[in-house]
Amino acid sequence: MCSTRSISWPVTDIDLSALRSGNRRALAKAITLVESRLERHREQAQNVLEQALPFTGGSIRIRITGIPGVGKSTFIEAFGLYLIEQGHKVAVLAVDPSSPIAGGSILGDKTRMEELSRRSEAYIRPSPASGALGGVAQKTRETMLLCEAAGYDVVLVETVGVGQSEYQVAGMVDFFMVLMLPNAGDELQGIKKGIMELADALVINKADGESLNLARQTKQQYTAAMTLLRHTLHWSPQVLTCSSTEGTNIDSVWAMIKEFEVAARDSGALEKNRAGQAKDWLHQLVDEMLQLKLLHNTKASELLPQLEAQVLARQITPYSAARLILDCL
């Protein structure tokens, strides 16, 4: 399994000022370092990230999800090109836990984002290999920070809206958009209900040709079902329609996100949300690092089966057994 791209240059070679001035090669190198699973690279990657940190946070972070075939890649192509026209720099990151091979997931997508991938104002990065510390979302988070330091002011994170990764990515973005199909009858379209409840917007894609009417009906139905969705003081989830192939209403999607951003910044909700996300991220890593430490502790691994047996034999309480395990650390 190719879990990390091979690194043939000296890793001390990362030029942060080049990265900050928009040099794509410098950015690509830094991301490759962040994605590496080698312990010594991890340390260096953290070093680079720490230097980049003061220059992060300047983008609006948008997550786009939806079932396979709903048109995520096609939407991102149209949306990304529209944003570039408006003077933005767009980074596209993919999270795909179903792809164990680095770079596997976006191969097909690159053809759907052909024009966008050729633009110097866009940076498209495939999903890193999964299974690292922090789960599939960890490296994407770090990559997002590097892109921000490189001056990308819109970050689009694409996920496939059917799996576990959805929850791991939840705490990474400011705005969460679910793409849907025109299909009024089928209420949730295979999307998990928990995911819908997190959505800031539902966008019904493929609102074109013969599907136009159906898309309108679908919009009405979802708008009526809005009460099920999350409302905050500064935002009520919206329902829109668009066509990614015809480019209709792509501007409305951006107008909606801008409206959200202004409200979230003015109310302080954006900063508060990001602070909470950073804290959760820290706690998640502490949990995982502790687990790993436990796993690699010989004394604890020897003790665990014995204690399990004792708990089953009702000789010791689970609480005391857990205390004994932790004492090994």
Ligand X SMILES: Nc1nc2c(ncn2[C@@H]2O[C@H](COP(=O)(O)OP(=O)(O)OP(=O)(O)O)[C@@H](O)[C@H]2O)c(=O)[nH]1
Helices (H), the chain: 16-20, 24-35, 39-52, 72-85, 106-112, 114-118, 135-149, 165-169, 193-198, 212-224, 250-266, 269-295, 298-312, 318-327
Helices (H), 53-183: 72-85, 106-112, 114-118, 135-149, 165-169
**138 vs 243, which CB is nearer to ligand X?**
243
**70 vs 201, which CB is nearer to ligand X?**
70
Which spans of this chain sit near ligand X (rule: CB under 6 A)? Answer: 66, 68-74, 109, 112, 160, 205-206, 208, 243-245
Shortest Cβ distance from residue 68 to Mg ion (Å)? 7
Measured from each CB, the residue nearest to ligand X is 71
**213 vs 317, which CB is nearer to ligand X?**
213
In the numeric block, which tokens belong to residue 85?
């026209």
Report what 11 binds from Mg ion, ligand X, none; CB cut-off 5-8 Å by kind. Answer: none
Handedness of CA 102, 21, 82, 235 (dihedral sign): positive
Shortest Cβ distance from residue 164 to Mg ion (Å)? 18
Structure-derived torsion over alpha carbons of residues 276, 177, 202, 74, reported in degrees to the nearest 10:
180
Shortest Cβ distance from residue 195 to Mg ion (Å)? 17
The count of other CB atoms within 10 Å of the CB of residue 121 is: 17
Report what 69 binds from Mg ion, ligand X, none; CB cut-off 5-8 Å by kind. Answer: ligand X
The span of 19-27, 36-44, 64-72, 193-201 binding Mg ion (CB under 5 A) equals 64-72
Shortest Cβ distance from residue 58 to Mg ion (Å)? 27
Shortest Cβ distance from residue 73 to ligand X (Å)? 3
End-to-end CA distance of the chain: 32
- What is the CA angle 64-67-73, rounded to 5? 50
Report what 276 binds from ligand X, Mg ion, none; CB cut-off 5-8 Å by kind. Answer: none
**54 vs 108, which CB is nearer to ligand X?**
108
Report what 166 binds from Mg ion, ligand X, none; CB cut-off 5-8 Å by kind. Answer: none
Cα gap 328→240, rounded to integer Å? 55
In Å, how far are 49, 110, 156 from 28, measured between CA atoms?
13, 17, 17
Q: Choose which of 73, 165, 189, 241 interacts with Mg ion (CB under 5 A).
A: 73
For helices 39-52 and 24-35, angle between their N-to-C axes, nearest 10 degrees: 130
User: What part of residues 81-120 is at the interface with Mg ion (CB under 5 A)?
Assistant: 109
Shortest Cβ distance from residue 66 to ligand X (Å)? 6
Shortest Cβ distance from residue 108 to ligand X (Å)? 6
- By CB under 5 A, name the binding residues for Mg ion: 72-73, 109
